[in-house]
Amino acid sequence: MRRLVLYSLVSFVLVCVITSCKNEQELAFGRYFANGKVLYENHCQNCHSKEGQGLGLLIPPLTDTVFLKANKKELGCFIRFGLKKEIKINNTVYNENMPADDHLSDMDIAQILVYVTNSFGNNQGYYSVLEANTDLKNCK
Ligand code: HEC
């Protein structure tokens, strides 16, 4: 009997810990997404446009693409250091120049990426500032 009580107590505590962690992450997600939207409007939208569709052959789209998923860990590097190489997105080749934006902090970049990778048809979930710290240290 004692054991049973103890067991139920432990599982109750575990469930509480797990659900509060989840809520915590959901809250963080909401915060990142909202801030990321504002940062996107100020730093990216001019080129990539409001719906992320890009502009003809000059600016690639940020809509749900294999490229965005395959390069998830490097997206922050593109923002901080710019991108100037031939890339292929939805069978279209782009070879233009995205300027570096070195005013954005790791947190800004994490928030922008949460917004971008969960908008325009993307659904990649949360990306924390800790992940951004690591990925930005590994930029090639
Ligand atoms: C001055 C215009 C300009 C601005 C501002 C700009 N980009 Fe870009 N972006 C480009 C161009 C041009 C490319 C393609 C570069 C190439 O071909 O090498 C690109 C490529 C990309 C890519 C990789 C290709 C793709 O479409 O998935 C991502 C991701 C991206 N930009 C995200 C952003 C984000 C997020 C911001 C804001 C922080 C931003 N860009 C700001 C012009 C811009």
Q: Note the pLDDT tens digit of each residue in 80-120.
A: 999 999 999 989 999 999 999 989 999 999 999 999 999 99
Ligand 1 center from residue 59 Cα (angstroms): 7
Tell me, in angstroms, the distance from the centre of ligand 1 to residue 9's CA: 52
CA 14 to centroid of ligand 1, rounded, Å: 43
Beta-carbon neighbour count of residue 54 at 10 Å?
19
Number of Cβ within 10 Å of residue 115's Cβ equals 25
78 alpha-carbon distance from chain centroid: 13
The rounded distance, in Å, linking the Cα atoms of 125 and 138 is: 21
Confidence of residue 138 (pLDDT cuts 50, 70, 90): very high
Scanning the structure block, which residue is given the tokens 């901080």?
A: 80
- Minimum-distance ligand 1 atom for the alpha carbon of 75: 29
Specify the amino acid at residue 84: K
For residue 67 the two structure tokens come to 């490229």
